[in-house]
Amino acid sequence: MARAVTPQRKTLNTIFAWAIGLTIFFPILWTILTSFKTEGTAIANPPVLLFFDWTLENYETVQERSNYMRYLWNSIAIAGGSTILGLIVAVPAAWSMAFVPSKATKNILMWMLSTKMLPAVGVLFPIYLICIQLGLLDSKIALIVILMLINLPIIVWMLYTYFREIPGEILEAGRMDGAGLREEILYILTPMAVPGIASTLLLNFILAWNEAFWTLNLTAVNAAPLTAFIASYSSPEGLFFAKLSAASTMAIAPILILGWFSQKQLVRGLTFGAVK
């Protein structure tokens, strides 16, 4: 039975939710606003919120100086590639852990998660050397594989949680009707877990898009994604906050829009199984 919610309480909740939402969004909003200011207005103290001469000059400069499309394409290829590759590996892995668990399953899951606790810089040199040996420095392939491996524990964990919610009897029924392993995963399990898979996919895409350690360390020209594009606008001697903000806005815009359109999926997926 639903609890009775008084209008006052509802208003209060709404205000509270908006306040939290705006606080979280404020840095992004500030970056976007700064990108339309001149360098002088960007550092003005007290800061100017809305009433300034809006200019597109920073975007023009950034467009002129950097090949945005190349960075964008690299980001899409790396984030998309690592996500797809990750799902191909993780769906069967999560299936076996959810439906045919062994004694070691719990330990394997914990062990997978423990690899996330190693600071990335600890393996920088070995991975750099492997990339040199394989001729994969500054290549998208290397980053796709590395980012897939980094995010794999999260993907497996998320999918494992979703799969656990699916009754094993349904899969059994499929087996009775003569479905093999391949058919079982492809035609029974996957369609039922679509919301879970979709949110895993989105979250992983966002994580890979924002990854800024390996993408900065293993790329130079050919494979550099948008993280490298933003980094190239930070300056040790000189104030270029407006241009930096324009570059940041251009880098986050695609993922922000994607997140906006798929927020229903994201929320549904993230809370899937949490409330019964």
Partner 1 sequence: MTTTIRALLGATALSAIGLSATAQDTTLTIATVNNGDMIRMQGLTQDFTNQNPGIALEWVTLEENVLRQRVTQDIATGGGQFDVLTIGTYEVPIWANQEWLVPLDDMPEDYNADDLLPAIRDALSVDGTLYAAPFYGESAMVMYRTDLAEEAGVTIPEEPTWTDIMAAAEAMTDRDNEIYGICLRGKAGWGENMAFLTAMANSYGGAWFNNDWEAQFESEPWQSAVSDYLMMMENYGPPGAANNGFNENLSLFQQGKCGMWIDATVAASFVTDPEDSTVADSVGYAVFPNKEGVDNHGNWLWAWSLAIPASSEQQDAAKAFISWATGQGYTELVASEEGWRSAPPGTRTSLYENAEYQEAAPFAEMTLNAMNAADTINQSVMETPYTGGQFVAIPEFAGIGTQVGQEMSAALAGQQSAEEALANAQALTTDEIEAAGY
Provide, rounded to whole angstroms, the least separation between the CB of residue 22 and partner 1: 25
Residues 6+ apart with CB under 8 A from 161: 196, 272, 273
CA-to-CA distance for 134 and 142, rounded, in angstroms?
Answer: 9
Provide, rounded to whole angstroms, the least separation between the CB of residue 49 and partner 1: 17
Applying the rule CB under 8 A, the residues between 4 and 43 that interact with partner 1 are 39-40, 43
Q: What is the residue whose two structure tokens read 């392993």?
A: 181
Let me know: does 87 contact 200? Beta carbons within 8 Å: yes
Provide, rounded to whole angstroms, the least separation between the CB of residue 232 and partner 1: 3
Query: Whose Cβ is closer to partner 1: residue 234's or residue 263's?
Result: 234
Q: Which two tokens stand for residue 260?
A: 């906006």
Using CB under 8 A as the binding rule, whether residue 132 contacts partner 1 is answered as yes
| Binding region for partner 1 (CB under 8 A) out of 6-14, 28-36, 230-238, 264-272 | 230-238
Applying the rule CB under 8 A, the residues between 85 and 124 that interact with partner 1 are 124
Q: Can you tell me which of 1, 5, 24, 221 binds partner 1, judged by CB under 8 A?
A: 221
Q: In 3-state terms, the chain is what percent helix, strand and coil (to 5)?
A: 75, 0, 25
DSSP assigned state of 236: S
Applying the rule CB under 8 A, the residues between 235 and 254 that interact with partner 1 are 235-240
CA-to-CA distance for 8 and 214, rounded, in angstroms?
Answer: 49
Q: Which residues bind partner 1 (CB under 8 A)?
A: 39-40, 43-45, 65, 124-125, 128-129, 132, 137-138, 216-217, 220-221, 224, 228, 231-240
